[in-house]
Chain A
Amino acid sequence: DIQMTQSPSSLSASVGDRVTITCRASQSIGRYLNWYQQKPGKAPKFLIYAASSLQSGFPSRFSGTGSGTEFTLTISSLQPEDFATYYCQQTSSTPPTFGQGTKVEIK
């Protein structure tokens, strides 16, 4: 199975900060990388697919880049509603696997 590793596991940031989360795959996955946002007690939401395509309903301050084994999720100006846990997921091979999550907390 392909292992996905996110860094950091958690971070504290202030409203307006630029936030970057990194996701690394144990082998090349092309651009088969998705991102999800999960708030406490809620189901995850589909945020970005194919490494950089923003799902409808999310603002343009969210962006994704990368290919191969290294990917990033960037929030250009953190807003109060963005405090959540973010997961990357590879879909290059079965089983699809997730990173361990990055919790974005208020500083």
Chain B
Amino acid sequence: EVELLESGGGLVQPGGSLRLSCAASGFTFSNYVMNWVRQAPGKGLEWVSGISGSGDRTNYVDSVEGRFTISRDNSKNTLFVQMNSLRVGDTAVYYCARGYCGAGRCYWYYFDSWGQGTLVTVSP
């Protein structure tokens, strides 16, 4: 069974930093694209960042480019995002989400498994 477990959320002041982790199990982690998707309180879903299975390719939404860095440790089946220069607008539940693979193809942005999320609150 696929399991994704996020950790590292909390309360941080504007301008501060936080590192989120996502521990994966139940599948061959290195074979899958992984992503971070966030959801502000009471709001919709926003894709934040994605990383290829090998870790050599990354993508970011413009609003976090240069502030967030996605990475992964395939030896430990763990996904990370380092979040710097945090803003009040970054307040959200952050989910890690796996990119779907099926019929011999893998897709970056078909999110077929999600963690339970970790809450990041940026407040003075």
Contacts and interface: CB of A to CB of B under 8 A. Distances in A.
B44 interface: yes
Given A49-B110, A89-B109, A96-B109, A43 B44 contact: no
A87 to B, nearest CB: 6
Contacts of B44: 87, 98-101
Given A43-B114, A43-B116, A87 B59 contact: no
A60 interface: no
B110 A36 contact: no
Interface of B: 44-47, 59, 61-62, 95, 100, 107-117
9 contacts: A38-B45, A43-B114, A45-B114, A46-B100, A87-B44, A89-B45, A91-B109, A99-B44, A101-B45
B117 A55 contact: no
Interface of A: 34, 36, 38, 42-46, 49, 55, 87, 89, 91, 94-101
B109 A44 contact: no
B67 to A, nearest CB: 15
A99 B59 CA distance: 20
Nearest to B98: A46
A101 B43 CA distance: 9
